[in-house]
Structure 1
Amino acid sequence: MKTTHRDNWRVVISINPQYTHVNISALGFTGLDSDLNGTLTGAPFELTVAPRRLGDLGGVSMGDRLVSDDVDGDYRRRCEEMLAAFLRESHVRSGRVEVDEEHRCSHCDLLWEELNAEEAADDSTNQDAHSIAGEPVCCFKAIAEFRTERGIPALAEGGAA
């Protein structure tokens, strides 16, 4: 059925520059700290910080799945720990953990799409009279599985099953 793939974990923090009393070079602006006297002013801005890969063990690197049975959970925990540390700093105004999610069909590996209510009611976009909102549209195996789970009659033999 539908599988979820998560990638590109990151922590996004909002900085209040008028309260930033850190060395400017810590923000990547090397050589300017003496000119700027260590403070910034202006509107808040965001920084995005990516966590170290789970498989990055210093001098040794391996795939994340080799070092974790719960890759998504471990990345989430790592990002939440980073966020908590950032939020303890006075110049960090707020923050959040973000991740890119993609839903795919476990049968055909296409991006997961479902009929909405209007499409299910439209004969030109549904499979048959039994199509309902939420029914996958990627492949016949996904439709068959969806219908079996919900007790909906299978597609007609000539219709595609």
Structure 2
Amino acid sequence: MKLTNRDDWRVIIEIRPRYTHTHISALGFTNLDYDLDGEIDGDPFELTITPRPLGDLGPGLSVGDRLASRDIDAAYKRRCEAMLAEVLRAPHVQSGRVTCTETHTCSHCWLVWEELTADDAADPGCRQDEHSVEGEPVCCGEAIAEFRTERGIPALALGGAA
């Protein structure tokens, strides 16, 4: 079975300074003298905002994410969506999105999950046998057997590839 792990949650926003006449203080540089303040100019650019860990309970107090939430992915997604909604209110923020890194692994062998493409399934050199289809895992025999059983595809013949 394919297992999906999500981590590295983040909010990516695009700032368009040229069209909004945004002051540098909008980026957090608030302690500048009046003479040193100015407007941000130039081409649009992206900023990546990383949320604080779920288990960050304040100065000097933290626990693991698993203790802070039963559903870590949903909690990070909610936190990032709330951050995005807040920053999209600023006039200099053009757009934004919530993203994360997804890693897929096999629950049987723990290798990276890979599947046959339509081209692979048609190529006798890539497929396991004449019953191989697009989407069939390629990592281990247990994953292939599970996939085929779920879809009513004949099991692999003993002896390997055709």
The normalised TM-score by structure 2 is: 0.90
Cα displacement string for residues 122-153 of structure 1 (whole angstroms, at most 9, x for unaligned residues): 11111111111110000000000000000111
Match of 1:125 in 2: 126
Match of 2:13 in 1: 13
33 and 114 in structure 1: CA distance in 2 versus 1, 3 angstrom threshold:
farther
Aligned residues: 158
Q: In structure 2, what residue type is equivalent to 1:26? A: G
Q: How far apart in 1 are the matches of 2:148 and 2:67?
A: 37
Cα displacement string for residues 72-121 of structure 1 (whole angstroms, at most 9, x for unaligned residues): 00000000000000001111111111111111111111111111111112
Match of 1:23 in 2: 25
Secondary structure of the residue aligned to 1:93 is strand
The 8 Å contact of residues 24 and 40 in structure 2, kept in 1 or not, is answered as no
Q: How far apart in 2 are the matches of 1:76 and 1:23?
A: 28
Match of 1:74 in 2: 75
Secondary structure of the residue aligned to 1:57 is strand
33 and 97 in structure 1: CA distance in 2 versus 1, 3 angstrom threshold:
farther
Match of 2:89 in 1: 88
Q: How far apart in 1 are the matches of 2:49 and 2:138?
A: 37
The 8 Å contact of residues 12 and 46 in structure 2, kept in 1 or not, is answered as yes
Q: How far apart in 2 are the matches of 1:123 and 1:25?
A: 57
Q: How far apart in 1 are the matches of 2:51 and 2:145?
A: 40
Q: How far apart in 2 are the matches of 1:148 and 1:27?
A: 60
Q: Which moved more, 1:4-13 or 1:14-23?
A: 14-23
The 8 Å contact of residues 24 and 32 in structure 1, kept in 2 or not, is answered as no
The residue correspondences of 1:1-161 to structure 2 (distance < 5 A) are 1-18=1-18, 19=20, 20-23=22-25, 26=28, 34-35=35-36, 37-58=37-58, 59-159=60-160
Secondary structure of the residue aligned to 1:23 is helix
For residue 159 of structure 1, report the CA deviation from its aligned partner. 2.1
Q: How far apart in 2 are the matches of 1:32 and 1:119?
A: 63
Percent identity, aligned pairs only?
Answer: 60
Displacement over 4 Å in runs of 4+: 30-33
Q: Which runs of 5+ in 2 are unaligned?
A: none
Secondary structure of the residue aligned to 1:34 is helix
Cα displacement string for residues 49-84 of structure 1 (whole angstroms, at most 9, x for unaligned residues): 000000111131111111111100000000000000
